[in-house]
Amino acid sequence: MNHELKIIDMFSRIFELLLLNLLFVLTSLPLITIGASLTALFSVNLKLVKNEESYIIREYFHAFRRNLKPASITFLLFAVTSTLFSFNIILALQSTGLLYLITGVLSLIFLILLGVYALYYFPLLARFHCTHAEAARYIPQTIAGKPGLFLMLVAMNLPVLFLCLFSVQTLLFVLIFTLLVGAAGFTYVESVILRAATDNLPDGTSRS
């Protein structure tokens, strides 16, 4: 009987992730709303990993509407800034001179820091009501509190980044996989780690 219940729970969770992925894809179609969609996806998944959510659609759109403006603006800023840093790195690799080298190194450092900030910002926004200043304070605290979990997140995301940059074919593979179930499934696994990582934040942090 217990074995049958586990099978039912497994298929139920798969269905929930398929539904979540569909909601994520549909709400991301305008492109400028990807940040809000990602935050809503984390909002539901962070609860699913603790079996705290049973109304997937309602919770998703509640989180989407609540974070539409801050998450969308932040995502656009991330996209523009990371593009500029990447352009500087490419320019430095194709040029000679000390100035280009310094610019390239600084751009790489800032791009890495931006990536770390983005890795935590949307889950933090999903789980807590926090400003950019609060996120900037909580992220180093979260990493320092549980560095092993941070390394796990990095280890998960680096292969995806590599596939996106390796070739057009691997980038298309990532995009297709994301459209089918990858976004919800990937962030669900990340949410297991992030839920444990953010448990060390102060009790005074306002929770969603």
Sequence-distant (6+) residues with CB within 8 A of 201 are: 128, 138, 141, 142
* 137, part of any domain: yes
Q: pLDDT per residue over 137-148, tens digit each? A: 888 888 888 899
Parent domain of 74: 2-200
pLDDT tens-digit profile of 22-32? 999 999 998 89
**Tally of domains within the chain:** 1
Give Cβ neighbours of residue 149 (< 8 Å, ≥ 6 apart).
193, 194, 196, 197
Q: 208 in a domain, yes or no?
A: no
Q: Does residue 18 belong to any structural domain of this protein? A: yes
In a domain, 123, yes or no: yes
Q: pLDDT of 24-61, one tens digit each?
A: 999 999 889 999 999 999 999 999 988 876 689 999 99
Nearest one of 42, 12, 28 to 79, comparing CA atoms: 28
| Coil vs helix vs strand at 187 | helix
Is residue 205 domain-resident?
Answer: no
Residue of 30, 28, 24, 25 lying closest to 42 (CA atoms): 24
For residues 161-179, average pLDDT: 83
In Å, the largest CA–CA distance within the chain is: 71
Go through 160-170 and write b for each residue having 16 or more CB atoms within 10 A of its CB, e for each that does not: eeebeeeeeee
Residues 6+ apart with CB under 8 A from 207: 127, 128, 129
Which two tokens mark 28? 């991301």
Supply the pLDDT for residue 7. Answer: 75
Average pLDDT (4-26) is: 84
pLDDT at 78: 92
Tell me the torsion sign for CA atoms 162, 165, 168, 174: positive
Report in angstroms the alpha-carbon separations of 22 from 163, 180, 183: 23, 8, 9
Confidence bin at 151 (pLDDT 50/70/90): very high
Backbone angles phi and psi of 105, in degrees to 5: -65, -45
Distance, in Å, from the CA atom of 140 to the CA atom of 80, rounded to the nearest integer, reads 23
Residue 43 lies in a domain: yes
In a domain? residue 207: no
Classify residue 206: in a domain, yes or no.
Answer: no
Residue 1 pLDDT > 70: no
